[in-house]
Structure 1
Amino acid sequence: MSNYTTTHRMTGVGNTLKRHYETYLLEYELAHDDVDGECCLICHSGAAGDWVNCGACGEWAHFGCDRRQGLGAFKDYAKTDGLEYICPQCSMTNSKKKQQLQRPTNGFSKAY
């Protein structure tokens, strides 16, 4: 943090800012990684738009990037008590887990 004037002397305001930074902000900055900004897990862009957060993995996606059928409208997910969004990757993982649970564990198939 530079707090010099054109004559290269420290200023009172600069010293105050530096002291405030060292007292209150430096410890926080050292303890937390820089946030580069979120990017869409589908298109990998950080462009503005309607964002939704996956309820399973916590990743963010543009609602418009998810082209799956039957998702509904963005407003259905934007409400506090609205639908929970599940990203395509977590959705596929969940369906694979369901298929594994439905398979018999003894190697025999059920006769219906």
Structure 2
Amino acid sequence: MQFNRVLTAFSALTGSIRANNATHPLEIDLEALMQPNAAERAMMGVWVADDGATRLSLLPNGRYGKTLRAGRDIYRGRYEVDGSRLYFEGDTGRTAIGETRRGILTLGDHRFIRPGARSAA
């Protein structure tokens, strides 16, 4: 998520740096690059499985936590957003791909919705 933006910014800058000695130091605002884009902001927050037993929390820092109703953590890791797809990599190395459509996040055989949203059949 953010790492790709940093690499893109560096590659753009290296293409525009002149070979002669620059009189101004190179300044990069890394905080601006680390801000989530609109697609990432739309995915952030809590998602709840249809049966209410599992909660998926997508944090602004690119991390996620998947917990059971009892509050027990079952997975933690990082995620990236690419349009309507989400790519998950757990801290244990497990990977998964999710997809959103009409307010429903499908991840494996789980369907997640926002709390308070009505499930579309």
Larger radius of gyration: 1
* Higher relative contact order, chain-length normalized (CA < 8 Å, sep 6+): 2
Higher percent of residues as helix: 1
TM-score above 0.5, yes or no: no
TM-score, length of structure 2 as denominator length? 0.22
Larger fraction in strand = 2
Q: TM-score, normalised by structure 1?
A: 0.23
